[in-house]
């Protein structure tokens, strides 16, 4: 599902205009991004938790040359689904 499809779905389910749904999605993504930049977590009960994880530095390999390269440590966004979301996504309901 792309952003336009998500906007349509939210618009229909919430009974709001597509423009309002687009503003909601933009506000949500901006708020989550800002919280993660500040080092906070964003927990949506029944959905999941957005957080930032530290990925350590490591040695990788350049696939074209085969040479080893050093990959720097980095902060990466992470999402952990809630048990409820996992259960709802599971087709056979056996979580």
Q: In the chain, how many domains are there? A: 1
The residue segments making up the domain with residue 22 are 1-39
Q: Which residues contact 42 (CB under 8 A, 6 or more apart)?
A: 31, 32, 35, 36, 49, 50, 51
Determine, yes or no, domain membership for 71.
no
Determine, yes or no, domain membership for 12.
yes
Q: What is the pLDDT of residues 41-81, one digit of tens each?
A: 999 999 999 999 999 999 999 999 999 999 999 999 999 99
Determine, yes or no, domain membership for 85.
no
Determine, yes or no, domain membership for 35.
yes
Determine, yes or no, domain membership for 14.
yes
Predicted model pTM: 0.77
Determine, yes or no, domain membership for 20.
yes
Q: What is the pLDDT of residues 12-52, one digit of tens each?
A: 999 999 999 999 999 999 999 999 999 999 999 999 999 99
Residue 23: which region, alpha, beta or left (left: phi > 0; alpha: psi -120 to 50)?
A: alpha
Determine, yes or no, domain membership for 49.
no
Determine, yes or no, domain membership for 81.
no
């Amino acid at each position: 599902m792309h952003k336009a499809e998500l906007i349509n779905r939210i618009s229909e389910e919430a009974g709001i205009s597509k423009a309002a749904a687009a503003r909601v999605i933009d506000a949500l993504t901006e708020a989550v991004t800002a919280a993660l930049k500040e080092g906070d977590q964003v927990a949506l009960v029944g959905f999941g938790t957005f957080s930032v994880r530290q990925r350590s530095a490591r040695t990788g390999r350049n696939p074209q040359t085969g040479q080893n390269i050093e990959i720097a440590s980095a902060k990466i966004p992470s999402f952990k689904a809630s048990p409820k979301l996992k259960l709802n996504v599971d087709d056979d309901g056996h979580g």
